[in-house]
Amino acid sequence: VCPVAAITELSEIEKVWAALEDNDKHVIVQTAPSVQATLGEEFGMETGTVVTGKMVAALRRMGFDQVFSTDFAADLTIMEEGNEFLKKLNGEGELPHITSCCPGWVKYAEHNFSDLLPHLSSAKSPMQMFSALGKTYYPEQAGIDPEKIYTVAVMPCTAKKFEKDREEINGSDFKDTDAVLTTREFARMIKEMGIDFKDLPDEEYDELMGESTGAGTIFGTTGGVAEAAVRTVKEELTGEALERLNLGFRGVNHAEVKIGDRLIKVAIANGLGNAEKLLERVRAGECDFDFIEVMACPHGCVGGGGQPRPATNEKKDKRAQGLASIDDSSKIRKSHENPQIVKLYKEFLGEPLGGESHHLLHTKYKARPKN
């Protein structure tokens, strides 16, 4: 069930076809981390097969002007959120730090845990960070009129369609994300085009906002955001690499990480039922976690409502293993080492949590009536 009660999938397929056929529009697309390990199922491939290269090739054949990766923006989220967490560890802000990249969880928190909203990261989700840059940084670098840019996001869930329409989410002078397609909608478009997906060659993302690290990719499963953030924080503070946290895909799990002379306590909640139990304990002062990751869907985005159906726990395990295999084989596994992220800060944003970053990459939340 969709966590924001968008029971039916409001298709944006026709909007995207119309944008692709409009010669006045320059259409760029981003693909969420999890889709790399789930899309193949729609074409009869074994569950968990990594299809990144074929997916990029399909998007080019559909007519997108640039094909980019949300994993790039996940690295950027880690830069912003990791530095925000560092400040909180130094006494500036409220601990535990709670993640906010899942719009299903954020909306649930606004209704049911509004007293804990100051704990949520102000960093936007990777999708929204990407789109804000897609209408500012990208046109500046590419020499294109930003008014012509149309941004499409291929995402694991319908909650992302709600997120893009939040009033306070836009950072550019335009609507940051124009259209969201779920994995199933995207597969339907590939089939409508008559593309033989399995026989496509592997192609690479376009460079400027297509390069990513293993840390960005594991955002697609529960535990991934926590692991990616602690990887960067530990290395920035101590110069030491982090071993895997292995936080698991079910229930509430936790781990302790030694960073210098401090022991950091990390917890993750799989699904809103488990999040509620954990956050009631936080509210009652019964636990002292420093960092809490919440994903509305058990298993995280590999189990999202827009992914191929049916999705058993066994299938979700395999999808998560597919993403872990990308992380394991990545040449760069830490967000702060992504050369395109380094370039972005040097040439456009300045520094993490700086003025331009704050304007484009951060947001706020509001209490909503309890449900």
Which of 57, 102 has the CB closer to ligand SF4? 102
Q: Please state whether the peptide bond connecting residue 310 to the residue before it is cis, i.e. omega within 30 degrees of 0.
A: yes
Smallest separation (angstroms) from ligand SF4 to the CB of 157: 3
Catalytic residue among 42, 80, 81, 227: 81
Least distance from ligand SF4 to the Cβ atom of residue 311, Å: 11
* Residue 305 C-beta: closest distance to ligand SF4, Å: 7
Alpha-carbon separation of residue 28 from 19, 73, 80, 231, 321 (angstroms): 10, 14, 24, 30, 29
Q: Which is nearer to ligand SF4, 54 or 160 (CB)?
A: 160
Among 34, 69, 100, 101, the active-site one is 101
- Contacting positions for ligand SF4 (CB under 6 A): 3, 102-104, 156-157, 159, 295-297, 300-301, 304
The CB-of-10 to ligand SF4 minimum distance in angstroms stands at 15
Closest distance between ligand SF4 and the C-beta of residue 207, in Å? 26
168 is catalytic: yes
Active-site annotation holder among 42, 163, 211, 235: 163
Instruction: Give the nearest distance from C-beta 186 to ligand SF4 in angstroms.
Output: 14
Of the candidates 2, 102, 297, 301, the residue annotated as catalytic is 301
Is residue 160 part of the annotated active site? The answer reads: yes
Between 214 and 223, CB nearer to ligand SF4? 223
- State the CB neighbour count (10 A cutoff) for residue 151: 28
DSSP 272-307: HHHHHHHHHHHHTT----SEEEEESSTTGGGG-TTS
The residue (of 136 and 182) whose beta carbon lies closer to ligand SF4 is: 182
| Beta pairing, strands 252-259 & 262-270 | antiparallel
The two structure tokens encoding residue 232: 């960067």
Cβ atoms of 69 and 210 within 8 Å: the answer is: yes
Q: Which of 121, 212, 335, 357 is catalytic?
A: 121
Would you call 157 a catalytic residue per the annotation?
Answer: no
How deeply is 345 buried, as exposed, middle or buried, from its count of CB atoms within 10 A (0-12, 13-18, 19+)?
middle
- Give the span between the Cα atoms of 71 and 43, in whole angstroms: 23
- Using DSSP's 3-state secondary structure scheme, residue 315 falls into helix
What single letter denotes the amino acid at residue 310? P
Any catalytic annotation for residue 80? no
Q: Please say which residue, 264 or 266, places its beta carbon nearer to ligand SF4.
A: 266
Strands, sheet with 97-98, edge to edge from the N-terminal-most edge strand = 97-98, 291-295, 262-270, 252-259
| Residue 238 near residue 259 (C-beta atoms within 8 A) | yes
Annotated active-site residue 42? The verdict is no
C-alpha Rg value of the chain to the nearest Å:
19
Catalytic residue among 160, 161, 164, 318: 160
Nearest-angstrom CA–CA distance, 289 and 273: 18
Nearer CB in complex with ligand SF4: 302/361? 302
> How many angstroms separate the CA atoms of 297 and 305, rounded?
8
Beta bridge partners, 154, equal 31, 181
Q: Which of 167, 168, 286, 314 is catalytic?
A: 168
Residues forming beta bridges with residue 264, ordered by sequence position: 257
Rounded least distance, CB 159 to ligand SF4, Å:
4
Are 75 and 328 in contact by the 8 Å Cβ rule? The answer is: no
Q: Which is nearer to ligand SF4, 34 or 136 (CB)?
A: 34
User: 301 catalytic, yes or no?
Assistant: yes
Annotated active-site positions, please?
81, 84, 101, 121, 160, 163, 168, 301
